[in-house]
Amino acid sequence: MLGPNGSGKTTLLRVIAGLLLPEAGQVACNGRDTRADRDAWSAAFSYLAHSDGLKPELTAGENLAFEVGLRRRVSQAEVDGALGDLGIAHARNQLVATLSAGQRRRVAFARIMLSGAPLWILDEPYTNLDRDGSVFASAIIGRHLDAGGTALIAAHQPPAIPGHRPRNLELAA
Amino acid sequence: MSRTTTLSAALLVYRRDLLLAQRHWGQVAQPLVFFVMVATLFPLALSPELSELRRIASGVLWVAALLASLLGLELLFRSDHADGTLEQMLLSGQPLSVLALAKGFAHWTACGLPLVLFSPFVAGAIGVPLDSLGTVMVSLALGTGILSAIGAIGSALTLGLRRGSLLLGLLVLPLAMPALIFGARAIDLSIQGDSARGPLLLLAAMLVLAVTLAPPAIAAALRISAE
């Protein structure tokens, strides 16, 4: 989903996620209104918002164990593996408050990765990531697509996902 | 990949909130310090005569507990809202009312329970006889539970507001009046040597009502605030 600032990308993603009510129309998945069973719909996707959704007073490991744990059983080894995949294995026992913005984004990405949801809704996923981080993120999105998953991404630039050509939806300002 | 059961999710929320309370113990201690300070100011302002203090002890204990509970309530959902973790809980696929109940219970454990455990000392200092200390504890345990449940609705409703604390008081205090009346009455009856069973049972019924009805209301309020 591409478009200039203020074109409504985040709003549309929040409507799809069920965090905002649409002024008109409905959000449907497989022909069923997503509001009919909100909890089942929420379980089907994982949402990365502008904010990373992490508690600064908890360590990266504690944050992941909690947030992923709400959705599915997750082992410490899986958490460590995801942090390692994103190049921040050392952050496991570090308070999120002491991590840089880019490192926090990577932890948030690890949450999406571990969620096990078939649909990823990613709002500006590359924000605050350095070049390495962006490459990690693209590779992880690519792996998710290879495994039959779907990703709905809002971005300023069309994301470069290795081995995949995203379909673009342009929103006018 | 096995999905987390609702009970496990509630336990996760409860444990996380207690861990956060432990890391912010200053914030948690605030209501307790307030409770002790307000209750011990009365002997200084009125009279050190125990017989005189005993007459107003029930009211002092309850008003101090009520106001102390209000102090911690504003923060119940605020930091989760600010850092985006509330949104993640909303989208976790778990029933929000159960998660809200777990948060409310964690809040009571961190803020209400210490107050209850400390109340015999404070009550003793303002002339409540030894025989009545049990009633003081039971009445405040039930009362702080009711206040946590009702207060959580107010806290969720005022989440999006910049200066929600005043509105929170206006919303919660009138709803807490019945608990205040019966809670203070129970302590009064016990001090006079009568049975406090009636008002305590009514308080227990109110707690059951609050714990049953509050979670869906909190969940609805949180969804409105998230928009």
A137-152 per-position pLDDT tens digit: 888 899 999 999 999 9
How many folded domains does chain A comprise?
A: 1
Beta strands in A7-100 (DSSP E): 28-29, 32-33, 45-48
Distance from CA of A57 to the nearest CA of B (A): 7
Do the beta carbons of residue B144 and residue B69 sit within 8 Å?
yes
**Residue A23: HSE in the Cβ half-sphere, 13 Å Cα cutoff:** 2
Quick check: is A58 in a domain? yes
User: Is residue B164 scored above 80 in pLDDT?
Assistant: no
Contacts of A73 in chain B (CB under 8 A): 1-4, 8
CATH number for the domain that contains residue A119: 3.40.50.300
Quick check: is A2 in a domain? no
pLDDT for the residue numbered B1: 66
pLDDT for the residue numbered A165: 87
In terms of CA atoms, which chain A residue is nearest residue B8?
A70
Distance from CA of A46 to the nearest CA of B (A): 8
Do the beta carbons of residue A65 and residue A74 sit within 8 Å?
yes
CA distance readout (Å), B156 to A15, B51, B128, B159: 21, 42, 36, 5
A39 to chain B, any CB pair closer than 8 A? The answer is yes
Residue A108: domain span: 9-146
Inter-chain touch B88–A71, beta carbons under 8 Å: no
Choose the weakest-confidence range: B109-123, B156-170, B196-210. B156-170
Quick check: is A14 in a domain? yes
Helix (H) or strand (E) holding A123: strand A119-123
**Residue B58: HSE in the Cβ half-sphere, 13 Å Cα cutoff:** 21
Do the beta carbons of residue A108 and residue A120 sit within 8 Å?
no
10-residue block means of pLDDT along chain A (173 residues)? 88 91 88 86 90 92 93 91 88 92 91 92 88 85 92 88 87 81
Quick check: is A132 in a domain? yes
Distance from CA of B57 to the nearest CA of A (A): 40
Quick check: is A127 in a domain? yes
pLDDT for the residue numbered A163: 85
Of residues B120 and B25, more confidently modeled: B120
Question: Per-residue pLDDT averaged across B135-159, rounded?
Answer: 93
Contacts of A54 in chain B (CB under 8 A): 83-85
Contacts of B3 in chain A (CB under 8 A): 43, 71-73
Question: Per-residue pLDDT averaged across B55-60, rounded?
Answer: 90
Question: pTM for the complete prediction?
Answer: 0.91
Distance from CA of A89 to the nearest CA of B (A): 22
Quick check: is A168 in a domain? no
CA distance readout (Å), B13 to A117, A121, B98, B104: 21, 24, 10, 10
Quick check: is A165 in a domain? no
pLDDT (tens digit per residue) in B15-44: 999 999 999 888 888 899 999 999 888 888
- Tell which A residues from 44 to 63 touch B, by Cβ distance under 8 Å: 44-47, 49, 51-58, 62
